[in-house]
């Protein structure tokens, strides 16, 4: 059973990295993390099913958009989220909606079907990227190519809703995409510095970023999928995961610190007992006051630090 928890003290402190990066991170244009944004001149009401999408909407829309997030509590399990009547009212009133798809936020489709609106713009990221329903990993926002496509789609839809500010939305999208260069460079540097780094994971939360960074995820897909879906992994998969730590086959262990259980905690303890650094990653953007860019930078920086420290220790 997946338990809704916060940060475990055993992990490399991603939250500390976020706090450190917040001071220098560029603020979203007229918004923050994607939760409710107050803007007196906002004319377009927008919804992001997850707060990372709401944050990007706000960065593109700036003062002409009021973007809110449906899922913004880092202690909530997105896979088991149930929409309330209040959420349904918010979604039905929105002029622009961005949702993930791939079965991650199906409640959005239910609400939209119950309250049809021919003028409502809906960006389904799965459809935008041309991904099949069988796509195994739904955490699309960790893929470096996802948000640039989303940003351009948001700008195009906002331009249709408010043609007089089309150039403003387009310019903001271009600025947002350019601001991702630091994250992309950090991912590329990790790949160059530590090619093929063997890692272990619980869920496939950061798998797309790990793939882009050239890491070799040694954890079986069946264990990742079972934990993600709240299913008890097989004894064979659990034993194989434990062997990654006891036999020192991996350089770092990444787990979803947004949702943990006793099995995950046992893996964390075993990793520490065998000198394997532990990095906690977030499934959705963790706290208000941060933008998508600083969150992704904190994630890759935490991974880089863990592997660098491990490599340095091994060479002592």
Q: What would the pLDDT profile of 129-171 be if each residue is shown by its tens digit?
A: 999 999 999 999 999 999 999 999 999 999 999 999 999 999 9
Residue 1's pLDDT is 36
Average pLDDT over residues 24-31: 35
Please list, residue by residue across 28-48, b when 16 or more beta carbons sit within 10 angstroms of its beta carbon and e when fewer do.
bbbbbbbbebebeebebbbbb
Residue 34's pLDDT is 39
Residue 315's pLDDT is 58
Residue 2's pLDDT is 47
Beta carbons of 248 and 274 less than 8 angstroms apart: yes
Residue 15's pLDDT is 39
- 27 pLDDT more than 70: no
pLDDT above 70 as % of the chain:
83
Which has the higher per-residue pLDDT, 85 or 255?
A: 255
For the stretch 183-196, pLDDT in tens is 999 999 999 999 99
In which residue are the tokens 């239910």 written?
A: 110
Whole-number average pLDDT of the chain: 87
CA 272 to chain centre: 25
Which has the higher per-residue pLDDT, 74 or 168?
A: 168
Residue 286's pLDDT is 83
Q: Which residues pair with 5 in a beta bridge?
A: none
Residue 43's pLDDT is 85
- 13 pLDDT more than 50: no
Average pLDDT over residues 112-139: 95
- 32 pLDDT more than 50: no
In which residue are the tokens 């939250």 written?
A: 15
The mean-pLDDT minimum among 43-47, 122-126, 164-168, 309-313 falls in 309-313
Dihedral sign for Cα atoms in the order 26, 104, 136, 120: negative
pTM: 0.87
Determine the Cα–Cα distance for residues 227 and 50; give it in Å rounded to an integer.
Answer: 21
For the stretch 209-261, pLDDT in tens is 999 999 999 999 999 999 999 999 999 999 999 999 999 999 999 999 988 99
- 59 pLDDT more than 60: yes
For the stretch 98-110, pLDDT in tens is 999 999 999 999 9
Beta carbons of 57 and 46 less than 8 angstroms apart: yes
Residue 87's pLDDT is 85
Pairing of strands 252-256, 216-217: unpaired
Residue 80's pLDDT is 67
Residue 72's pLDDT is 76
Which are the contacts of 67, defined by CB distance < 8 A and separation ≥ 6?
31, 34, 37, 46, 47, 48, 54, 55, 57, 58, 61
Residue 33's pLDDT is 38
Please give the domain boundaries of the chain with CATH numbers for all domains: 3-19+187-314 (3.40.50.1980), 27-181 (3.40.50.1980)
Residue (of 121, 58, 60) closest to 95 by Cα position:
121
């Amino acid at each position: 059973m997946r338990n809704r928890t916060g940060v475990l003290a055993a992990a490399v402190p991603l939250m500390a990295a976020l706090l450190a990066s917040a001071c220098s991170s560029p603020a979203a244009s007229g918004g923050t993390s994607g939760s409710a944004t107050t803007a007196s001149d906002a004319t377009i009401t927008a919804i992001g099913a997850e707060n990372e999408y709401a944050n990007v909407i706000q960065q593109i829309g700036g003062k002409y958009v009021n973007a809110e997030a449906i899922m913004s509590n880092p202690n909530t399990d997105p896979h088991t989220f149930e929409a309330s009547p209040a959420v349904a009212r918010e979604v039905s009133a929105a002029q622009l909606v961005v949702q993930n798809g791939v079965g991650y936020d199906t409640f959005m489709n239910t609400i939209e079907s119950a309250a049809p609106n021919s003028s409502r713009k809906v960006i389904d990221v799965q459809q935008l990227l041309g991904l099949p329903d069988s796509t195994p990993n739904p955490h699309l926002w960790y893929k470096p190519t996802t948000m640039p496509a989303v940003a351009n789609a948001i700008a195009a839809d906002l331009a249709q809703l408010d043609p007089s500010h089309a150039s403003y939305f387009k310019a903001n999208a271009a600025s947002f995409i350019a601001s991702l260069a630091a994250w992309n460079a950090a991912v590329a540097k990790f790949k160059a510095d530590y090619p093929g780094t063997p890692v272990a994971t619980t869920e496939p939360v950061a798998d797309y970023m790990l793939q882009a960074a050239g890491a070799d995820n040694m954890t079986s897909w069946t264990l990742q999928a079972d934990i993600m879906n709240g299913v008890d992994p097989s004894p064979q998969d659990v034993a194989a995961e434990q062997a990654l730590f006891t036999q020192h086959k991996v350089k770092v262990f990444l787990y979803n610190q947004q949702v943990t259980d006793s099995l995950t905690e046992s893996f964390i303890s075993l990793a520490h007992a065998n000198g394997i650094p532990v990095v906690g990653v977030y499934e959705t953007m963790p706290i208000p006051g941060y933008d998508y860019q600083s969150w992704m930078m904190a994630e890759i920086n935490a991974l880089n630090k863990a592997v660098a420290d491990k490599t340095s220790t091994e060479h002592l």
